[in-house]
Amino acid sequence: MSNKLICFVSFIFILGLTGSTNGVEGLIGEYYERDAANPWQTLLMKRLDSTVDFNWGDGSPDPTLPADNFMVRWTGEIKAPITATYTFHTQTDDGVRLWVNNEQVIDNWTDHSNTHDSGTITLTAGQKYPIQLEFYENGGSAVCELSWSTSTRPRDTIQSQYLWVGGDRPEPSGPNPADGAVIRDTWVSISWSPGDFGASHNVYIGESFEDVQAGTGDTFRINQTGKDYAIGFSGHPYPDGVVKGTTYYWRIEDIEADGTTTHNGPVWSFTIAPKTAYNPSPADIEESVDPNIVLRWEPGFGAILHYVFFDEDYDTVNDAVGGTPQGVTNYRPGPLESGKTYFWRVDEFHGFETVKGDIWSFSTPGAVGSPNPYSGAENVNQITILKWVAGDNAESHQVYFGMDKDVVRNATTASAEYKGSKNLGDESYDPGLLEQDTTNYWRIDEVDSQNNPTKGNIWTFTTADYLVVDDWESYNDIDPPDPASNTIFAYWMDGYSNTEINGALIGNDLPPYADQTVVHGGRQSMPYKYDITAKYAEATLTLDSPRDWTASDVDTLIIWFHGDFVNDPATIYIAIGNNTGTPAVVTHEDSAATQIHGWTRWDIPLQEFADKGINLTDVNTITIGIGDKANPPGGMGKMYFDDIGLHPLETEPGPEQ
């Protein structure tokens, strides 16, 4: 358990809503201590909930809350997609009350087990209505789920795109098909919810994210007042039909009645299902798979029959031909051995052709695994120690590393890609300084007590095209004094030991200590709780590398941060320090940056630090602060930070996630 648990649990949020111009999707959830005689008095936590679809069981909504005897009030607005009589449904344990447009539609304010309640009300398409949902938990299991239906729409959880809190909603939202959807058809109908001020809409569609985002090439398709459009047939884009296996990007730009004021929506996408099999289960390179697994997949678009090839040897699967066709999209290969890596492939028969599938792999419990960086990682630090978890039968490890996947796969101990043997207990390898923007491959073979090697899988990662200051990917959840401990708060020094003057607390109270939910890039970010009531909030990292902030022609420090609509407003600042002298501080221009809900990129020219006396060739520390250190404004909240890097002027980081 983290030694910060006690301090974190006592860090209670009572947050304000001032300082935000535009609102956000979701509902504000106010979580109270339950006192039946005097309810809604002791506020324990306030947060933005994207939906109300909770089954907490015997647990609690948050580590700062009790598992029993709490109450929640969700408030905001709801926007109907079509004009209809809506049935609102709740599934709760215990009490529930619901108001829509100030009309009570559900009232079951009683102790009860998991119970369904419903009520109806007529809503008009595009209009926003106030909504308030109240719930209390007495004891035992806790459930609160909110859904709706109409005569033409089946019951479904009310998604965040229909819920709203705060001010105006100027940008288009609510894409249909949903962002990232896979479509099995030769034409696609798209629709969306216009922003509050959209009188007409520019529609952009294409096969390039960058072109659609910029509105370049032939991606502009039409300006119209309607909120739906179609592609894939005569008279529309892609008149011969959309192409199997192709991803299409689209964006809506709302234009106000004045004809000049515009509001850009995000870039959404959908993919036409490929002719090959896809979406394998277990997922490719999944670990600790049940030896009795049943393999499943999504069939290729238009496939009639399927040929399955399975073996523990990659080449055997890759070279296989023929096989026995089957009509079902599952295959049972087991029971399998533990501690093994297996490969499989599904070829799809379309009547006139057979399409060879990708080769997927997985490993059973006891096999070597848990690579760090994880396989497929991008923007990895050029100075990275490769680590893994030993297999159950390993006595030593053979390490292979290189820049060609097939060469690394086929390498032997006589190959240049063989980097030597590592003893059991030393599951790490230092490849040295890696090139920027380069894809690397590695493999670990486990050698047992009889000196028999078991060939491992191929893992891959790509280095960043900039200098990584911190991306939070290397931190783990192993507590000290374990020598493998590498926790986030062992490096980012906060106010834990001096909470009276420093109100910053880094990391989650329980594992995972780095956040794995609100993430910009990779799999982890830094959660940062702040209390700036009569004190400041700062967290500081002492750098091992990069310390030379002039290398590789870098000239810009880029930081991604994520605030929250319910945070108390405050600015954020970055302080850079040398071993001696006063750190140089640069403050974000938004005095309520903590309330910016969503990942936001902050570019800081390094010259700003140099102009304040910092020697950029030997930077010792970087500090993230919240508020005004000299005059703390008061307030509390929680921020997230990710992907701090040093970029050349010409380099643009990847698109916002």
**Burial class of 338 by CB neighbour count within 10 A (0 to 12, 13 to 18, 19+):** middle
User: Looking at the structure, do residues 47 and 86 belong to the same domain, yes or no?
Assistant: yes
The reported pLDDT for the residue numbered 18 is 34
Evaluate if residue 14 carries a pLDDT over 60: no
User: Looking at the structure, do residues 378 and 514 belong to the same domain, yes or no?
Assistant: no
Evaluate if residue 4 carries a pLDDT over 50: no
Evaluate if residue 649 carries a pLDDT over 90: no
Question: CA 162, CA 128: separation in Å to the nearest integer?
Answer: 9
Evaluate if residue 7 carries a pLDDT over 80: no
Question: CA 394, CA 451: separation in Å to the nearest integer?
Answer: 10
User: What CATH number did the domain enclosing 613 receive?
Assistant: 2.60.120.430
**pLDDT band of 168, cuts 50, 70, 90:** confident
Q: What is the pLDDT of residues 90-117, one digit of tens each?
A: 999 999 999 999 999 999 999 999 999 9
pLDDT, averaged across the chain: 93
User: Looking at the structure, do residues 143 and 233 belong to the same domain, yes or no?
Assistant: no
Nearest 5°: the CA angle 543, 487, 510 is: 145
**pLDDT band of 313, cuts 50, 70, 90:** very high
The reported pLDDT for the residue numbered 24 is 86
The predicted model scores a pTM of 0.85
Q: What is the pLDDT of residues 343-357, one digit of tens each?
A: 999 999 999 999 999
Q: What is the pLDDT of residues 179-213, one digit of tens each?
A: 999 999 999 999 998 998 999 999 999 999 999 99
User: Looking at the structure, do residues 504 and 628 belong to the same domain, yes or no?
Assistant: yes
User: Looking at the structure, do residues 513 and 643 belong to the same domain, yes or no?
Assistant: yes
Domain residues for the domain of 295 are: 285-356
Of 446, 465, 484, the last residue of a domain is 465
Q: What is the pLDDT of residues 357-371, one digit of tens each?
A: 999 999 999 999 999
User: Does the residue 363 lie in any domain?
Assistant: no
Question: CA 346, CA 355: separation in Å to the nearest integer?
Answer: 9
User: What CATH number did the domain enclosing 182 receive?
Assistant: 2.60.40.10
| Residue 375 and residue 387 in contact, taking contact as beta carbons nearer than 8 Å | no
Q: What is the pLDDT of residues 553-608, one digit of tens each?
A: 999 999 999 999 899 999 999 999 999 999 999 999 999 999 998 899 999 999 99
The residues, any chain, with a CB within 8 Å of residue 249's CB and separated by 6 or more, are 205, 206, 207, 208, 209, 212, 213, 267, 268, 269
The residues, any chain, with a CB within 8 Å of residue 154's CB and separated by 6 or more, are none
Say which amino acid occupies 612.
Answer: K
Q: Is the peptide bond before 453 cis (omega within 30 degrees of 0)?
A: no
Evaluate if residue 36 carries a pLDDT over 90: no
Of 165, 188, 203, the last residue of a domain is 165
As a whole number, mean pLDDT of residues 535-549 equals 96
User: Looking at the structure, do residues 88 and 124 belong to the same domain, yes or no?
Assistant: yes
**pLDDT band of 518, cuts 50, 70, 90:** very high
User: Looking at the structure, do residues 54 and 117 belong to the same domain, yes or no?
Assistant: yes
User: Looking at the structure, do residues 622 and 481 belong to the same domain, yes or no?
Assistant: yes
CB atoms within 10 A of CB 650: 7
User: Looking at the structure, do residues 513 and 592 belong to the same domain, yes or no?
Assistant: yes
The reported pLDDT for the residue numbered 84 is 97
The reported pLDDT for the residue numbered 126 is 84
As a whole number, mean pLDDT of residues 536-552 equals 96
User: Looking at the structure, do residues 405 and 318 belong to the same domain, yes or no?
Assistant: no
Of 356, 379, 407, the last residue of a domain is 356
Question: CA 478, CA 309: separation in Å to the nearest integer?
Answer: 39
User: Does the residue 244 lie in any domain?
Assistant: yes
User: Does the residue 449 lie in any domain?
Assistant: yes
Question: CA 209, CA 219: separation in Å to the nearest integer?
Answer: 10
Structurally, how many domains does the chain consist of? 5
Evaluate if residue 325 carries a pLDDT over 80: yes
As a whole number, mean pLDDT of residues 279-288 equals 97
User: Does the residue 657 lie in any domain?
Assistant: no
**Burial class of 318 by CB neighbour count within 10 A (0 to 12, 13 to 18, 19+):** middle
Among 9-18, 227-236, 462-471, whose mean pLDDT is lowest? 9-18
**pLDDT band of 650, cuts 50, 70, 90:** low
User: Looking at the structure, do residues 239 and 304 belong to the same domain, yes or no?
Assistant: no
Percent of the chain with pLDDT over 90: 89
As a whole number, mean pLDDT of residues 291-310 equals 98
The reported pLDDT for the residue numbered 445 is 97
User: What CATH number did the domain enclosing 149 receive?
Assistant: 3.90.182.10
The reported pLDDT for the residue numbered 19 is 36
User: Looking at the structure, do residues 494 and 601 belong to the same domain, yes or no?
Assistant: yes
User: Does the residue 497 lie in any domain?
Assistant: yes
Q: What is the pLDDT of residues 81-91, one digit of tens each?
A: 899 999 999 99
Q: What is the pLDDT of residues 397-434, one digit of tens each?
A: 999 999 999 999 999 999 999 999 999 999 999 999 99
Of 392, 391, 364, which is closest to residue 292 (Cα–Cα)?
A: 364
The reported pLDDT for the residue numbered 657 is 43
User: Does the residue 362 lie in any domain?
Assistant: no
Of 570, 567, 515, which is closest to residue 538 (Cα–Cα)?
A: 570
Of 109, 100, 34, 99, which is closest to residue 72 (Cα–Cα)?
A: 34
As a whole number, mean pLDDT of residues 41-52 equals 92
The reported pLDDT for the residue numbered 364 is 96
**pLDDT band of 22, cuts 50, 70, 90:** low
User: Does the residue 140 lie in any domain?
Assistant: yes
